Amino acid sequence: MEKNPSTATVKTPSSNFAGDVWLNPVFGGDGVSQLTCGLVRFTPGARTNWHSHVNGQLLVCTDGVGLVGTRDGKTVVLRAGESVWTPAGEEHFHGGTAENMMCHYAILDAAGDGEATTWLEPVTDQQYAAAHRTAGV
């Protein structure tokens, strides 16, 4: 067993996120396991760019209300205590709603060759608004 120290909160890069998004890295693998986990906080209106993960991603909401949307137009509302699994290769975004902050753990297996996350273009304001309409928020 190994206890990990708490980490400093860092602002996420604007190249991959819109709005104010803050990250506390929780775990980054141990040389054998390639599990990574981060606690991510989105202010209202903040969101990730479109992206995908080579081995999928689990999002576990701890606070607030958020959205997770896919390229095919499916959107789910994510609330505290709920989780969403995005399968390997599925292009998606996640973030707070226009009126609510959202905090989640982002958990993924980074094992394999290359990058675990493929970052793509920003989610447009029109796409973000459409996700709200689809989700009914």
Per cent of the chain over pLDDT 90 is 85
- Asked whether residue 5 is domain-assigned, the answer is no
What pLDDT, in 10s, does the model give residues 55-73? 999 999 999 999 999 999 9
Nearest to 18 by CA among 53, 43, 52, 54: 43
Which domain CATH number covers 55? 2.60.120.10
Name the DSSP class of 89: T
Q: What is the pLDDT of residue 115?
A: 83
Beta bridge partners of 27: 37
As a whole number, mean pLDDT of residues 124-129 equals 97
Specify the 3-state DSSP secondary structure of 106: strand
* Percent of the chain's residues with pLDDT above 70: 100
Could you read off the pLDDT of 72-85 as tens digits, one per residue? 999 999 999 999 99
Domain count, the chain: 1
Do the domain assignments include residue 25? yes
For residue 91, tell me if it sits in a domain.
yes
118 dihedral zone (left: phi>0; alpha: psi -120 to 50; beta): beta
Confidence of residue 2 (pLDDT cuts 50, 70, 90): confident
Residue 28 belongs to domain spanning:
10-131
Say what the pLDDT of residue 55 is: 94
State whether residue 125 is helix, strand or coil. Answer: helix
State yes or no: pLDDT of 113 exceeds 80: no
